[in-house]
Amino acid sequence: MPIHSLGYREWNGPLSSAESRWTVIAWIGIRRAWQSMWLRRIVFFAWVPGVLMALLIYLFEQAASEGHAGTFMTSGIVRFFLESGATRSLQNSFIASQAASQDLVKYRHEFWCSLLQVLYQRSQAIMLIPVIGITAPSLISQDMRSRAFLLYFSRPINRTQYICGKAASVACYVLLISLLPGMMLYCTGVLLSPDISIVLDTWDIPLRVLAATATMVIPTTCLGLMLSSLTIETRFASFAWFSVWVFGFFAYLVTSSFISFGSQTPVQLLSLFHVISKVQEWLLNVRSETQIDIVAPLVVLFTVTVVSLAILYRRVSSPLNV
């Protein structure tokens, strides 16, 4: 091509809305993260508990239709899944009342919510930590190290769109291991029920699943991106991410051994794992023997989200203020 032919030319291809510019950043982040072999393995194993609990719903519906409530509720697989405090009280109520077939159907809503609580607290919350630890630390730190901000913001992309694109890259995988298994579990229960009218009795469960997922996705995504923006070294951001969870978890275990059961100290609120677990237990409305103090965990999650967003926005803005 001769030199005089170079220059700006009219674009004849399809045009996209300006509001969708952040999706390009999100799609690039999603594709790059999926190249990690460990991430693919974690996503696969995150779906295994949901499949096992779908089998448990199938056994529940079979017991409800055939009248084998006592045998079902005392089986080993039910005891394995419903061994935590809140879910064990539901199991004990079945055994104490020697529920018949119609009584088992009456407890369907609580049983489904119990399985969802176990799913979110035992497996998905644990899988959440390595998933964000793999996807989030490199998203902003690498842009700072490679000066990719010059490329991003030389185009009509503002800071909010940039942050939304990066957050969507992380949230996509968190939703893949939390929201989708939860909704799959609910849909499985509806399909295995004898009558579609069961939707009228359990219509609130999808809303509870969405709320429980939001308590996992929003604060953890903001925290992961904030840590990534504080350094140009990905390994430092990864170390900080895992340190937050490990330190908080052990702080909760140490303080729990010195206080009475059901009490709560400010140190225990440092454990995001237990804070999110308490909020999810409250949202899923599982029968519990103790009253849940939900105000403090909600304040912690709100504070983590707001502070992380404020620092994140300031860090993203700093290269543009030079």
| Global model pTM greater than 0.75 | yes
Q: Does residue 6 lie in a domain region?
A: no
| Mean of the per-residue pLDDT values of the chain | 78
- Top pLDDT among 273 and 101 is at 273
- Domain presence at residue 42: yes
- Kindly state whether residue 86 falls inside one of the protein's structural domains: yes
Which of 114 and 10 is assigned the larger pLDDT? 114
In a domain, 220, yes or no: yes
In a domain, 72, yes or no: yes
Of 41-50, 140-149, 169-178, 202-211, the range with the lowest mean pLDDT is 140-149
User: Could you report the per-residue pLDDT of 151-178, keeping only the tens digit for each?
Assistant: 777 777 788 888 899 999 999 999 999 8
Assign 86 to helix, strand or coil: helix
pLDDT band for 242, please (50, 70, 90 cuts).
very high
Domain, as residue range, for 109:
20-321
Cα distance between residue 115 and residue 202, in whole Å: 14
Asked if residue 105 is part of any domain, the answer here is yes
Determine, yes or no, domain membership for 2: no
- Position 227 pLDDT exceeds 50: yes
pLDDT per position as a tens digit, 207-219: 989 999 999 999 9
The Cα 256–Cα 269 span in angstroms is: 11
In a domain, residue 15? The reply is no
- Mean pLDDT over residues 280-296, rounded? 71
User: 231 or 85, which is more confident?
Assistant: 231
Cα dist from 129 to 117, 251, 269, 272, whole Å: 18, 17, 17, 11
Burial call 172-192: b when 16+ CB within 10 Å, e when fewer: bbbbebbbebbbebbebbbeb
Q: How many domains does the chain have?
A: 1
If pLDDT is split at 50, 70 and 90, which confidence band does 1 have? Answer: very low
